[in-house]
Structure 1
Amino acid sequence: MLVFVPLVVFSFICGTVVSISIHDVVLPTKCEACRVLVHELLLRLNETQSSDTITLGSQGNSFRKVKYDRSELRFIEVFHEPPLCNRMLKYKLHKERKGCSRFDKTIPETQKSLSSLTEKGVKVYMDIPLEMWDKPTVEVVSLVKQCDSILSAYEGDLEDWFYNLQNEVTVLDYLCRDRVLKDLPQGEHDFV
């Protein structure tokens, strides 16, 4: 059996045919980029959470103990080791979804269906080679770039939140609502 998919990808889900044009590129909004950044930040904070204390100082100087959770070491591990935004390169674009949920680390249904067809021996022809199916899309690469821009522009604010305000305000409100999106018209983000 031979399947040719030039401009449109077909997915057979629950007996219906869903067509998705692979040429429609909808870049992430600032709101989506900020929310995904916050999601990854919270995941990374959870991964590095520890009640340990670390000892700071150098030979000959006095030593002091600091809680790891509020330490500069953790800040660096969360934001820079590895770079936080690079984690987004694992995201896949789900064109069938809206808003931030378009970006997820799970494999999209369309890609699952096409992969299943190829595993069964069906030849599927698309505008992109099979080996590029798992590469980041234009939208995901744009998401990473926007994340980098947000981190660069608001690094001082994030440091302030990390060291002083974590227990007082959510990072979503502090970064996205109160800073990144505050000057955008209401229709350009989904905060109420």
Structure 2
Amino acid sequence: MEMFAILFICMFSPVLANQEERLPNKCDVCKLLTVELQDVLEKTGRSKEVLELGEVLDTGKRKRKIKYYTSETRLTEAMDNICERILQYKVHAERPGSLRYAKGTSQTMNTLKNLVDKGVKVELGIPYELWDEPSVEVADLKRQCETMLEEYEEIVENWYFHHQDERLDRFFCATHVLRDSDQECLNEVWKGDMGVKGSKEESEGENRRQTHDAGEL
């Protein structure tokens, strides 16, 4: 069993090394930012709440009413700490392109944890209790997300108030943030680990939970 563990780790060492070496690009960041923002907005999109804005002096009456669905308050709440959600992602080093970023434990890490559960000693250079902590790569995703949101906040507001009939990833990423040559990741969609036992059921479950194509949300 110990020999198997050594062989297994050697076999996956290029994957683990690549996980450390590859940093997210601008397309990766933009894609995940729009996925998360769209997700938050969809959760509040059915609210029938009506906000009363302003107050007339002496009478105490509100000046006007506005639907929460179209309010600036809804957008502000959605954008608040949106980049913190990026820390929920894990690096799935066995997947190509932007698909390497997904929520849930990666196939590689699951296999390594199973070995540990069976009593096999696995050395990754970091303590076992830190295996599930956000990696350097994911932390960089969050940092770039915050920078991008600050730089292009007005573009998000423009989409929210005037262009919600357009896909957020296309309006924000393709039209305003990314160059034409940097948009390849926007078309990448997770289709499951083909050829892996049980992958059909797993991929169907994951597709129900999330997709990396913001237009499908």
TM-score scaled to structure 1, two decimals? 0.83
Give the Å deviation of 1:59: 5.9
The percentage of aligned residue pairs carrying the same residue is 36
What is the match of residue 93 of structure 1?
Answer: 91
Say whether residues 1:38 and 2:34 are aligned partners: yes
User: 2:84 aligns to what SS in structure 1?
Assistant: helix
What is the match of residue 28 of structure 1?
Answer: 24
The 1-side partners of 2:143 and 2:49 are apart by 34
Give the Å deviation of 1:52: 2.5
Contact 1:4-1:124 at 8 Å conserved across structures: no
| Structure 2 stretches lacking a partner, 5+ long | 188-217
| Structure 1 stretches lacking a partner, 5+ long | 11-16
**Aligned residue-pair number:** 179
TM-score scaled to structure 2, two decimals? 0.74
Contact 2:52-2:62 at 8 Å conserved across structures: no
Amino acid at match of 2:64: R
The 2-side partners of 1:4 and 1:120 are apart by 12
Say whether residues 1:119 and 2:135 are aligned partners: no
Counterparts of residues 1-192 of structure 1 (less than 5 Å): 2=2, 9=9, 18-24=12-18, 25-49=21-45, 50-58=47-55, 60=57, 62-80=62-80, 83-167=81-165, 169-182=166-179, 186=181, 188-190=182-184
The 2-side partners of 1:121 and 1:79 are apart by 44
Please give the root-mean-square deviation of Cα atoms over the aligned residues, in Å: 2.4
In structure 2, the CA distance between the partners of 1:76 and 1:5, relative to structure 1 (3 Å rule), is farther
Contact 1:3-1:122 at 8 Å conserved across structures: no
User: 1:66 aligns to what SS in structure 2?
Assistant: strand
The 2-side partners of 1:89 and 1:176 are apart by 21
More strand by share: 1
Amino acid at match of 2:83: C
More helix by share: 2
Amino acid at match of 2:44: T
The 2-side partners of 1:104 and 1:127 are apart by 23
Give the Å deviation of 1:97: 0.7
The 2-side partners of 1:130 and 1:152 are apart by 35
Amino acid at match of 1:147: C
Contact 2:54-2:63 at 8 Å conserved across structures: yes
Contact 1:2-1:123 at 8 Å conserved across structures: yes
